[in-house]
Amino acid sequence: MKSINLELENIAKHCDLKEWMLKYQSFPKSHDGKKQSYLNNSIYKCFSNSL
């Protein structure tokens, strides 16, 4: 089983992490649910693109 760090490195290689972290941080605090789902969707897209 791959380590989480390895998987995150894989995401970073295939996706623009900085791009979506900026978007993630730009969500207002009141939208925490939205932020979490945005983050999850981004990571999911990254993984599906890198497979």
Query: Domains of the chain: which residue ranges?
Result: 4-50
Look up the pTM and report it.
0.42
Q: Tokens representing 27?
A: 């969500």
Q: pLDDT of 2-39, one tens digit each? A: 576 776 666 666 677 777 777 777 777 777 777 778 77
pLDDT at 8: 66
Buried-exposed string 8-33: b where 16+ CB fall within 10 A, e elsewhere: eeebeeebebeebeeeeeeeeeeeee
Neighbours of 40 (CB within 10 A): 10
